[in-house]
Amino acid sequence: MKQHFATLFFILLLVATATAEALPIPAPPSLNASSYILADADSNRIIAEKEANTPVEPASITKIMSGYLVFQSLAEGLISLQDKVLISARAGHTGGSKMFIETGSLVTVEDLIKGMIIQSGNDATIALAEHIAGTEEAFVDLMNAQAAELGMKHTHYMNATGLPDPNHYSTAHDILKLTRALIRNFPQEYRWYSQKEFTWSGIRQSNRNKLLWQDKRVDGVKTGHTDSAGYCLVASAVEKEMRLISVVLGAKSESARIRQSQALLNYGFRFFETRRLYKQGDKLADTKIWKGALEQLPMGVTEDIYVTYPKRQGDQLNARIDRPRLLEAPVKKGDPLGKLTISLDETILSEAPLVALEDVPEGGFFTRVKDSLMLFFE
């Protein structure tokens, strides 16, 4: 197959023309934290960041990965919410934040999940790790394998809870990747992150994410704190179908992590917007195909295409399609044949492969002969 590419420029027709004057975009907030990042969950556009790829101690933010593996085990049928877990001495006597489960008692997986997420219970987390993998150490191996699969290149776990260890670290950017995957892959289970309180053994504990009370847009995700890590918060919020994720690590106080996370979210929602421009399977172009059972091959994208851009600048978006100038059968559905690029001015906002939307087998003998002759003179 010859892969000479033609380039087509066109204005996106799926974005409504903006009539209002574009908003001036101020600089993002500058926060007194070790590192932070703000991004759109759908487009993955990074709106603000500082030291986002610098490894730091994540504290109980670690439990986002622990939760991810628990939800994955539920989805695969390896465990169920009704399973009763025998609480080991190791789980029952662990230090730090607790759900207050008793050694030797039986607790359901669902209650342990709530204890891990809402109360940030180290005891609940270890109990779940042991139920899934036998030991916390084996569970940590699964955590590191999952981190590698998600492309978390600057993350390494030593435990399931986030207790301090020199070899236990992550980055704001890696935590963003994990949180996006959690929300995307486990939308039903994600609802637990918005639950404000949970009572166990007569002890009512509130979710440490105080943004759940302060901002009705917020529906998660997780706090963390140790003396060495400082105060950390991963927050996610939705406004008009736009979901933002902020990660603040190493803030100086509990109130500071709330203020700083709120500042990031407010900035993103105030000055940016996100649109879904194309749906998975949408036909974006037809291209001539030679020697095939069809004369025109429909081409499109394999996933929904979202872009995030400054407010009121939607009419300035441009799309470019790179596609084969000369294409010969056979072609299989899903074969990558070109590229879709969305840009604003000189900034590329999104790139995605352009694929065949149909199988095109070779045409009959006379079709192949005719097209060969035509190509000879092409």
CA pair distance 256, 244, nearest whole angstrom = 19
Q: What integer pLDDT is reported at residue 16 of this predicted model? A: 42
Residue 257 domain-assigned? no
Q: What integer pLDDT is reported at residue 18 of this predicted model? A: 42
Q: What integer pLDDT is reported at residue 325 of this predicted model? A: 79
pLDDT in tens, 316-370: 999 999 888 788 879 899 899 889 999 998 899 999 999 999 988 876 776 666 7
End-of-domain residue from the set 251, 268, 299: 251
Q: How many domains are there within the chain?
A: 2
Q: What integer pLDDT is reported at residue 102 of this predicted model? A: 96
CATH number of the domain at 151, please: 3.40.710.10
Ranges assigned E (strand) in the chain: 5-11, 35-40, 46-50, 84-86, 106-108, 197-200, 203-206, 218-226, 230-239, 242-251, 272-278, 283-288, 296-300, 305-310, 317-324, 336-344, 347-356
Residues lower than pLDDT 70 in the chain: 1-23, 363, 366-369, 371, 375, 377-378
Kindly state whether residues 96 and 236 are assigned to the same domain.
yes
Q: What integer pLDDT is reported at residue 369 of this predicted model? A: 60
Residue 256 domain-assigned? no
Residue 372 domain-assigned? yes
Residue 55 domain-assigned? yes
End-of-domain residue from the set 251, 266, 297: 251
CATH number of the domain at 340, please: 2.60.410.10
Q: What integer pLDDT is reported at residue 368 of this predicted model? A: 65
DSSP line for 164-226: --TT-BB-HHHHHHHHHHHHHH-TTGGGGGG--EEEETTEEEE-S-THHHH-TTEEEEEEEEE
Whether the full predicted model's pTM is greater than 0.75, yes or no, is: yes
CA nearest neighbour of 148 among 117, 170, 131: 170
Asked whether the beta carbons of 288 and 327 are under 8 A apart, the reply is yes
Catalytic residue among 88, 120, 170, 343: 120
Kindly state whether residues 210 and 75 are assigned to the same domain.
yes
Residue 272 domain-assigned? no
Kindly state whether residues 101 and 188 are assigned to the same domain.
yes
Q: What integer pLDDT is reported at residue 375 of this predicted model? A: 64
Kindly state whether residues 247 and 124 are assigned to the same domain.
yes
Kindly state whether residues 62 and 145 are assigned to the same domain.
yes
Domain housing 48: 35-251
Kindly state whether residues 240 and 142 are assigned to the same domain.
yes
Has 63 been annotated as catalytic? Answer: yes
Kindly state whether residues 295 and 183 are assigned to the same domain.
no
Has 120 been annotated as catalytic? Answer: yes
Q: What integer pLDDT is reported at residue 287 of this predicted model? A: 87
Kindly state whether residues 337 and 285 are assigned to the same domain.
yes
Q: Is 179 left (phi over 0), alpha (psi -120 to 50) or beta?
A: alpha
Q: What integer pLDDT is reported at residue 19 of this predicted model? A: 43
Catalytic residue among 63, 98, 177, 222: 63
Residue 296 to residues 189, 192, 354, 358, Cα–Cα distance (Å): 44, 49, 15, 10
Catalytic residue among 35, 43, 60, 343: 60
